[in-house]
Structure 1
């Protein structure tokens, strides 16, 4: 899934996309540029967004035990 598709579908910020893909904010901003300095996401970045899209689409269908492994409660 492309960053533009993910952004449009989920209404997330560039910072949240950066977090999902383990990239810097400036790298993600570069993905959204339309000039010659535009950057392009790697296949790994596209996969991270596709996996996150799947998880968000099917979150309630994921068994509780698996969900807690995927998204452990924060330790505050």
Structure 2
């Protein structure tokens, strides 16, 4: 899942995306830039966002203690 798709779908901040992907805030801001200074997320970044998307989509099926950890990851 691309950072733009994740951002739009889950209404998260750039800082939260940075935490999910273990990247700096400036790196994530670079993903959203247009033009010459734009940066591209790595395959692992896309995988992390896709995995977090899947987990959030199925949050009700996940045991409560794991739900708490997921919510901490994006708060």
- TM range, normalised to the smaller chain? 0.7 to 0.9
Q: Distance in 2 between matches of 1:12 and 1:66?
A: 22
Stretches of structure 2 lacking an aligned partner (at least 5 in a row): none
Higher relative contact order (CA 8 A, sep 6+): 2
Q: Taking structure 2 as the reference length, what is the TM-score of the superposition?
A: 0.85
Larger Rg: 1
Stretches of structure 1 lacking an aligned partner (at least 5 in a row): none
Return the structure number with greater helix share.
2
Q: CA RMSD in A?
A: 2.1
Q: Taking structure 1 as the reference length, what is the TM-score of the superposition?
A: 0.84
Q: Aligned pairs, how many?
A: 71
